[in-house]
Structure 1
Amino acid sequence: MTDRSVILMAAADSIERDRLRDQVDDLTTEVVRVEVVSGPAELRARLQELSAAGTVVPLVIIDEELESADGEMHSAATEVGAAVLQRSSPSAAAELEMARKRIRRLQRTFFGDSGLSDDEVEEAMIEEIDRALDHPERVVYPPGTILLEENQPVDGIQIVMAGRVRLFRHVEGHDVIFHSRTAGRIVGLSATALRQPAAFTAQAVTELTAIPVSFEQLETALQKSQSLSIHLVDVLVRSLARRNLRTVEQRVHIDRLARELAVERDQLANALARLEQAQTRLIESEKMATLGQLVAGVAHELNNPVAAIERGADFLTEDIERLSAVHPRSDVVLASLERARTQAPLATREERELRRDLATELGDGALADRLVGLGIHTGAGAADLLEGLSEAERDARLDEMELYYRLGRSVRNLRSSASRIASHVKSLRSYARADREKRTDVSIEEGMEESLMLLNHKLGDIELVRAYSAVPPMTGFAGELNQVWTNLLSNAIQAMTDTGTLTVATRAPDPGHVEATITDTGPGIAEEDLARIFDLHFTTKEGRVEFGLGLGLTITRDIVERHNGTIEVESRPGQTTFRVTLPVDGVDATEHATKD
């Protein structure tokens, strides 16, 4: 065989291989097309048509391959191609294997990739793009390079081969960085597929090796490789799924943060409220400290004049008695002085009844009026004073007795007023020393009486009922407890305006406790206000400001609680009762200081 013959045979063989390769490609394409819409029967019919048209595919081979494939189209197409190549050219093994892989890939949908990881699907897509574009150039980007810029047009994708990318958006002057899972190996795919501006900025964190693929190149690759379309859809679906999952996770995270923030906000609001209460109490304490200093000064200044008045009243009484002793009718004069000093003032109604009875007995209304004014209420007393006197002598004696009676009454009023002022000074002193007094045995009854003394001018026509039981003294701070009684009594008096009944009672509910109740017959406290009356700044007095020593029910409750006691209120229309229960042992001084 000559060289020319060899060359011709080789050329013929090459031409035959090329022809057969083209036939295999055509066959593969047709198999895939038919596979998408048909089953094995349609595939058999189409292969028979190809054979009848001149394609070298023996029918017996078709029957054998279809039967051996058990109806699986990818096996039929692959085995048919293999039979053609094996019977035509053993050197086409590489083309056979490539055809087999392509057919397998084409036969998968993106649901068929469910067993692959995200990285594996992206890798398959990258391989298809790389193959379809004949291995395009790799580009190396330095750290900090902007690959995409938010709100700017995107004309292609970046396939990251090595390095890291971060995604972020610029929001109100700050960069909001996306979760690291958001940035995959294919950057800009969603924007490119949707032909929309970039939703974020993509920046190289490290040195980056990437394959830039334009939109036109991507279209070319999709036309060359049908499997690329499947992988592209799969990658897009998975990307959207990741973003949706991340959105759900972020929403859950935001909800959790919102709940935590709400709790912290409530805690902050409570802390702020407590701070405001503490500040108000501090201001009240400072006011009371200042008031205490003023009261101490006033009490000191009043103490000396009161003492002088009391001594002067004593001296005046003694001097009047000495002068009366030398009077010709000293016994009558001294008796008149004594009646004026010792007899309690009569109520108007009682005085009117006495005058009427005496006028009936004496038969002289004018004389009865003068005698009752001198403290003489019976006919026998009148006879002792006026018996044997003429009318003129009687009038002269009555004039003289009235003069001495007025002197005695003035001395009585002077001594009573001095004693009253002294009691007020004592009460004021108890308030002045409230912050610096020592723990002592405290009488609840005495504390009530001191507070009633301070508020006596407010009682007016209000009836005061005392219902004290024998209770033991308790250990505590008298000044602070007097503030409690004064505030509760003042509130009760104000609630009744001008008339009503104020009842003050004490009892021992058990050997370890004492109880004080203050009840008024005012209009009562509305049910919706009962739960709030101890709150700071809450008042039912319609904004009226009263000057006094009461510190409000909040401070009242605090004082009671510092003494380890309780305060309760019951109210209905026509009756309101505040009940204060205190332990007999009271409060330890160290514990009291700690609570303060």
Structure 2
Amino acid sequence: MNSFVILCLDDEPSIVERLRQDLSPFSDLFDIVEADSIDDANDTLAFIEQQGQQAAMVICDNDLGADNGVDFLVQLDNHPVTKRARTVLLNDKPQIDVIMQAVNEGRLNYCLTKPWQREELHRVLIKELTTYVIKHPDEDWLKYSQLLDHRRILKAHIDRQMSSFRSGFIRHGDQLDDTTLASQVTDALHSFFQGNDEHKACRTYSEGHVLTHEGEANSFLWFITRGEVALYKKDEDGFKHEVVRVGSGNLIGGMSFVTDEASFSTGITLCQTDVIKLDRQLFTKVMNSQSELLPLFTNLLLRNFNRRLQGSIKTEMRLQQTLKSLDEAYQELIDKEKMAMLGQLVAGVAHELNNPVSAILRGSDTLKETICKLTDSQLNHDNQTQGNVILQRAMQSRPLSTSEARQRAKQLEATLGDRQTARKAVLMGLDDTDSIERWLLPQKHQLKTVVDEWEHYYQMGNFLRSINVCAHRIADLVKSLKSYARQDDENTHDVDLHEGLEDTLVIFENRLKRHHVTKEYAELPHIRCQPIALQQVWTNLIANALDAVIEPGEIRITTQFTPNSHQQSIDILVEDNGKGIPQAQQEKVFELNYTTKREGNFGLGIGLSVCQQIIHQHNGTIRIESEPETFTRMIVTLPVHQNYSSVQAAPDKAASYKSRSSQTDQDKTEPDQIRHSHKEML
């Protein structure tokens, strides 16, 4: 049986049952009783009085059939067990007149509308029951601290304890300032030990004397009367840090002395320091012999604890603010690094876009003229049909290099007898045996005119192909640039890492085409990651490789995965044949603000630091292998977190990227080749 009761009054059994369920967390410290009418409630209150209990809370429905719940609440002051009870009124819907009646009578603390929220009911009970409990000074408040508002209860408990120690000349000791209170304690202790200090409690320590050891048991309480003591704590790495300094009037070892726990910190004197050292036996002897000293000392001890608590709270708040600031600074750092890198890429991407755009414009102008010539063509039906074949072939085949075209034209010239006609026929793919015998030799007397007409078909197909290639080139550049520049998507996705690598390579195309790039892609499973964050890693690694090599350099990008290996992970290697990094510097490259960039190359010194943090967020690792003047290899290892059923899609992906890589090598020179071929035809 508990001291206090919560009474629930409602004529609906379902409401009463729900109240019982919602109030179950309070049943260990409060008895929960129910009534379905006012008469039943009065009988229950009479029984509570017989048991010597008090009603701490009354939860009452307003509509009780013929009765009014507010009337019952108003009458609570007339019953001895409900004089101080807190009240909650239940309503099916807000009724202002009913609520105002209860408020005016001073017997309503809170009003809840049905159906209520369990969390709201708990908040109301915690607040109101705390108010009720602390109005009963004879009750053990601390047993309610875990259930109710522990801060209010602890504060009330401390106030009550301090109040109980007030006596005689220290009746208003809580109004004394710290200096006066410490002086009174010092005088009282010196008075006790004067001529009676066989325990040598009053001592003087030199600088550097250790009073308490962090983590070790402590059986003494030191009261500083003169001098200064610093308290130190060790961090996870074992380094000692000073946390606070205290002077005369302060206590050392108070918490561990009172609680019998290990010392929280190490206390060391900073100068010659006078102390009064008390063990538990001596402390008890002093306090029992001087009753006026106990409230003084208790007041001083509580103030020390309070200052330590406030200091801890302030430190915690500063740490939280620091962590928030660091998080914001880290995000800002990533954004700055990305924008710095993006700034370097813009000029190259703009130049790279200019080539295909120029080719498209030039091709469209030529097509305008060529279409008109085709519509006025004087070729017969068969030659027009062959012209269409030449057009389709030109759209699908890659133009010949100058040296190859010259060699094949020289061979055909001997057959046709005209160098210019032979060169045009070679470019249009008409130098094979079948074409020579079927189309060229039978029309030898009018071959120059026919070839000139066919040239229009060839030019149209050639420029249509050029426009198509350049359009795809622009689309790839825009897609990659948009993917890199957009705000990071913090959601994780299942992706093929090759996609991010390829997009990054497209962005760097303007710089990469001056070097030899080798890509060796393995068959990879999809992994769950933040692809945009990882793309920033690839961007930094490739940019660093480009800065390290001298034209023409070699850059190799390799992906590795062994499905049956013990450690299911993917390796991404970016290697260059640049100047390398000395062993002494390899340990520093991941430090913030450290850069190995040569003079004239832009470097914030934050790229690899950001890369390392991103890789660590993916539970991966990044490491470096390098030999000066030989090579540098960056190795990123990422774990595979999902079932390997997704691997089946990877081979086609990898093959497509190899094909795409080969096609890109061909396409990037296309505009220049088209221009050259056009000149030769003219």
TM-score band, normalised by shorter chain? 0.3 to 0.5
Greater Rg over alpha carbons, structure? 1
**TM-score normalized with structure 1 length:** 0.45
Higher helix proportion: 1
